[in-house]
Amino acid sequence: MTTANDLPQPTIAIVGYGSQGRAHALNLRESGFDVSVGLRPGGPTEAKAKADGFVVKTPAEAVKNADLVAVLTPDMVQKTLYNEVLAPNMKAGACLLFAHGLNVHYGLISPREDLDVVLVAPKGPGALVRREYEIGRGVPCIYAVHQDRSGNAEQLALAYAAGLGGARANVIKTTFKEETETDLFGEQAVLCGGASALVQAGFETLVEAGYQPEIAYYEVLHELKLIVDLFYEGGITRMLEFVSETAQYGDYVSGPRVIDASTKARMKDVLTDIQDGTFTRNWIAEYEAGLPNYKKFKQADLDHPIEAVGKQLRAKMVWLAANASQPDTDEQAAA
């Protein structure tokens, strides 16, 4: 059985210092790795990384002598970052690591032939990755190998996952294809797109029927945390144990009326667009055009009446300020 002591100890360059980048860098350093951080001079996170005690270099300098380079910048800057900074400066035979496989899977990045190319993706936001590590636990990680030129790529990925604390929880092998496509689908159909649209539609239905917006907010958004926490702790089984029989019966008879076979068919359409590259091509075109639709869609969400109602109600929930999550954004222009 492989133990943490059997795994390699590469020198690591973290490129990007957003929520994930900071969590990775701190966890890996505290796990005994030699970690440096690559950021553009004067960028928004340079001071934070220095305050955390890291040697901060330009990305080009940081990667030159690193055995492993972890790319923890937003998806849409990674192609330019790789082509202009990483590929010309990474040493021969190094390992290139991603936390999401989009750029490699869809061919936006074609890694150098001499490099090991791996993926390690913690299944949680950076703040949680850090917090769980600090209290002696860990967030489950999935990992994949795209190129194994050294014969040691899988061991490097496992060492990195262990350094994050993932081995304390669970580490599962996957592929770049599976990680990318399931991650995009989960975000779009359930976690972000699906959940947001469901909450907004529920709010609108109640308000349009004459109910108070404040009551509607509590019923369709505020109480969602209770259900999600139960899902997280023990799946649907635990949720059913803790809600009333009335709620259970409503689940059984009304859930399928809202999320029916046609909903699942549309989910399959979403998945098809992800699998055949349509979503990524559209996202690249949107990004290159200056994000006009993205900005319009985002503003529409920010302007939805549920947001104004929620802001007023949350202001009375004094406990929220201390526990507020920080955005899980990454260094926007590490190059």
Question: Per the structure block, which two tokens stand in for 65?
Answer: 């002598």
**Same domain, yes or no, for 30 and 134?**
yes
Answer whether residue 332 is part of any domain.
no
User: Which residues fall within 8 angstroms of residue 124, CB to CB, at 6 or more apart?
Assistant: 132, 139, 140
Write down which residue in 154, 175, 196 finishes a domain: 175
Answer whether residue 2 is part of any domain.
no
Cα separation of 145 and 70, whole Å?
14
Confidence (pTM): 0.92
Answer whether residue 6 is part of any domain.
no
**Same domain, yes or no, for 30 and 62?**
yes
End-to-end CA distance of the chain: give it in Å, rounded: 40
DSSP string, 241-271: HHS-HHHHHHHHHHHHHHS-HHHHHHHHHHH
- In the chain, the number of structural domains is 2
**Same domain, yes or no, for 50 and 89?**
yes
**Same domain, yes or no, for 196 and 283?**
yes
Residue identified by tokens 């993205």 is: 294
**Same domain, yes or no, for 119 and 207?**
no
pLDDT tens digits, one per residue of 43-83: 889 999 999 999 999 999 999 999 999 999 999 999 999 99
Annotated binding site for NADP(+): 17-20, 40, 45, 126
Answer whether residue 82 is part of any domain.
yes
Answer whether residue 76 is part of any domain.
yes
Active-site residue identified among 100, 105, 146, 304: 100
**Same domain, yes or no, for 212 and 109?**
no
Annotated binding site for substrate: 244
**Same domain, yes or no, for 94 and 195?**
no
Q: Give the confidence band of 1 by pLDDT, cuts at 50, 70, 90.
A: very low
**Same domain, yes or no, for 143 and 193?**
no
Answer whether residue 30 is part of any domain.
yes
**Same domain, yes or no, for 221 and 99?**
no
Q: Cα separations (Å) of 173 from 92, 140, 187, 281?
A: 26, 11, 20, 27
Write down which residue in 175, 207, 240 finishes a domain: 175
Domain with 249 in it: 187-325
**Same domain, yes or no, for 198 and 311?**
yes
Q: Give the confidence band of 39 by pLDDT, cuts at 50, 70, 90.
A: very high
Cα separation of 219 and 41, whole Å?
47
63: domain CATH number is 3.40.50.720
pLDDT at 149: 97
Q: Which of 9-13, 94-98, 230-234, 322-326 has the lowest mean pLDDT?
A: 322-326
Answer whether residue 331 is part of any domain.
no
**Same domain, yes or no, for 229 and 166?**
no
Active site residue 146: no
Write down which residue in 175, 199, 231 finishes a domain: 175
Annotated binding site: 17-20, 40, 45, 126, 183, 187, 219, 223, 244
Question: Is residue 49 a contact partner of residue 17, using CB atoms and an 8 Å limit?
Answer: yes
Give the pLDDT mean for 235-244.
97
**Same domain, yes or no, for 208 and 311?**
yes
Annotated binding site for Mg(2+): 183, 187, 219, 223
Answer whether residue 18 is part of any domain.
yes
Q: Which residue has the higher pLDDT, 180 or 327?
A: 180
Q: Which residue has the higher pLDDT, 323 or 190?
A: 190
